[in-house]
Structure 1
Amino acid sequence: MVFRRNPTPPVADWKPTPEEWRVYTLCDGRRSEEEVVRESGLGGEAYRVLAGLLKQGLILPVEGPKELCARLVELLRRRLGPKAEPLVARLEGCASRESLEEEALRVALKVKLTLDKKAGEELEKAIREMFR
């Protein structure tokens, strides 16, 4: 699993221990749980720290490209109906979060310019929120 720091953490007065800070800073939305543990140098203790940070809402799990793609496809189909199918194929070909985000924004622009301006704007907003 991959974690990222919560941009709006619910804990305002958090005073991390050195171990918590080390693990927290490694949660960048790219490193896997195993990489965070290894790079922290804390061994098994890092798993306990990760669990505590997650429980406090200081870090959040990051969805992988498959999960995000499924959400995007559902959004497109709901908004565009059968017109979504050619666009769905473009999204399903993306292997990484980065390529999926780029392609999804291209799809939103295409929708905005050629199919439905309002739907395209709504899609773009939803995409930016998903990848925030």
Structure 2
Amino acid sequence: MVFRRNPNPPEGWTPTPAEWRVYALCDGRRTEEEVVRESGLGEEAYQALASLLKRGLILPVEGPKELCAKLVELLRSRLGPRAEPFVARLKGCENREALEEEALRVALKVKLTLDKKTGEELEKAVRALFR
């Protein structure tokens, strides 16, 4: 699982050194295993992750499959059968970064060639999903 820091953490949090190290590594890109390995804390890192998650200081990040499904749903609902070439492009993305880049390219292409409003909606959705 991948976690990101909560942009609006609860006030009054005084982290332990272990919590701070783990919190700083939760950047929305590293997996749980990478955070644990890079922190150098071993089992203590798992405890820190659980504590941070329970207190709302870190949040889970959706994976590329979940994000792709949301984008595909939007495309199909707005474009019908015309969405299929774009759906294939999105489904070919293996990670969040590639999906975000491709989704923005698709949004631009839709905006310029098929439906300006749908392209703008897709671009807005991409930016919201990947923030």
Q: TM-score, normalised by structure 1?
A: 0.91
Compute the displacement of 1:116 (Å).
Answer: 1.4
Instruction: Give the secondary-structure state (helix, strand or coil) at the position aligned to 2:30.
Output: strand
Q: How does 1:76-91 map to 2 (within 5 A)?
A: 76-91=75-90
Compute the displacement of 1:93 (Å).
Answer: 1.1
Tell me, in whole angstroms, the C-alpha distance in 2 between the residues paired with 1:50 and 1:35: 12
Alignment match, 2:99: 100
Compute the displacement of 1:13 (Å).
Answer: 2.3
Alignment match, 2:7: 7
Q: TM-score, normalised by structure 2?
A: 0.92
Unmatched 5+ residue regions in structure 2? none
Tell me, in whole angstroms, the C-alpha distance in 2 between the residues paired with 1:15 and 1:54: 15
Name the % identity: 81
Unmatched 5+ residue regions in structure 1? none
**Range 16-25 or range 53-62, more displaced:** 53-62
For the pair 1:126 / 2:104, whether they are aligned, the reply is: no
Q: How does 1:39-78 map to 2 (within 5 A)?
A: 39-78=38-77
Q: Amino acid of the residue matched to residue 71 of structure 1?
A: K
For the pair 1:32 / 2:17, whether they are aligned, the reply is: no
Q: Which runs of 4+ in 1 moved over 6 A?
A: none
Tell me, in whole angstroms, the C-alpha distance in 2 between the residues paired with 1:122 and 1:110: 13
